[in-house]
Structure 1
Amino acid sequence: MKRPLMLLVPLGKVSGPWLEELIKEIAENFQTQVELTRPLPYPPSAFCFRRRRFFAHLIIDFLREKAGPVDFVVGLADAELYNVHHNSIISESHFQARAAVISVNKLRDFLFGERPEELFRKRVYKEILRSFGHMLGLGHCRNPRCVMYPSLTLMETDLKGNSFCPECSLKLRLRFGEIPLLRKAA
């Protein structure tokens, strides 16, 4: 069985050694191919001068257009994002487009502990996994330990787990069967 391809697309000036570690973790846990593209500039039409941030839906459309025929595409943004419901968001995902965008700058706020870079990478991983769940058709979960629990704050992101709860795992298995893609993520 061919392994699905997930494309990670840095937007703006997203870079650092954490990206290589993240790619290895995603490839191992998701049982998928992961490729990192060269950084892309933001589409100018996505910027809202009044809000001073980018409209996530337009960035997702841009990513899907640029990515071509890949299974999943995730943009990693160094800027603030918003959607139709919230003035500031951590991430946004689209099921039909199988695309998502994550504000990694927002995940850098309030880093603490002995290893702040590790906390940052965990936050990004959780958001990618949550976005991946949405791209596979999962909705939000009511279990605050599940990665699918909606997190509007960093505290909520830090408190939830880094895997699907039993109920969300079951939904994925009922929809897709035993898929190797989620062997460790579920």
Structure 2
Amino acid sequence: MLVDIVPVGDLPAEVKRKASAGLRTVYDCEVTVHESQPIPSGAFDANRNQYRAEDFIELASRVGSGEKNIAVTAKDLFYRKRNYVFGLAYLDGNGSVVSTYRLQTSSDGGFSERDADEIFGDRVRKEIVHEIGHTLGLEHCDNNRCVMNFSPTVREVDVKEETLCGSCQRQVL
């Protein structure tokens, strides 16, 4: 499987490296990094001061060259009535998106003594693996340690591991 990471807007090289590493480690797949794309026109919702996640998925699907394509952006995303999303993917689709905007909280709430850059890198890897998991047909998992567990806050992201539980792994690998 080839996964194409599609950077949207300004995205640090370190984020691209973390995303690639997470995908290669969990899915043992090929990963390419697409040339950076501009923010999709019309994606910004002035009333919310956020961007529509679906527009980024559509962009990744359209320009990505992989079997699975994931847009990665530093912009704050929302989906329908949710206040925000870390990412979004359609089950069994070929496009997805992750936003680093809300993953950049400086602390993990005392969960560990690690520095903010290390915590941020872990969150990026987990969310990338999570969204690609949805494109592979995985739904949210009840195991709170599994990367496919639903994580509405960074605290829940920090608690889960960067890997699939045995049940999720058997479904896709």
**TM-score scaled by structure 2?**
0.88
- Counterparts of 1:39-78 in structure 2, within 5 Å, are 39-68=36-65, 70-78=66-74
RMSD: 1.8
- Counterparts of 1:20-169 in structure 2, within 5 Å, are 20-68=17-65, 70-111=66-107, 113-169=113-169
User: Residue 19 of structure 1 aligns with which residue?
Assistant: 16
SS at match of 2:13: coil
SS at match of 1:44: coil
CA-to-aligned-CA distance 1:77-116 (integer Å, 9 cap, x gap):
1110000130211110123432111111211113354432
* Counterpart check, 1:7 vs 2:14: no
Q: In the aligned structure 1, how far is the partner of 2:59 from the partner of 2:15?
A: 25
2:57/2:96 contact within 8 Å kept: yes
Q: How many residues align?
A: 169
Residues 36 and 111 of structure 1, relative CA distance in 2, 3 Å threshold: farther
**TM-score scaled by structure 1?**
0.83
Of 107-116 and 86-95, more deviation after overlay is shown by: 107-116
5+ residue gaps, structure 2: none
Over the matched positions of the two proteins, sequence identity in percent amounts to: 25
Q: In the aligned structure 2, how far is the partner of 1:24 from the partner of 1:89?
A: 22
Q: In the aligned structure 1, how far is the partner of 2:2 from the partner of 2:115?
A: 31
Residues 61 and 157 of structure 1, relative CA distance in 2, 3 Å threshold: same
| TM superposition shift of 1:169 | 2.2
| TM superposition shift of 1:12 | 1.1
2:15/2:124 contact within 8 Å kept: no
Q: In the aligned structure 2, how far is the partner of 1:82 from the partner of 1:114?
A: 29
5+ residue gaps, structure 1: 173-178, 180-186
User: Residue 184 of structure 1 aligns with which residue?
Assistant: none
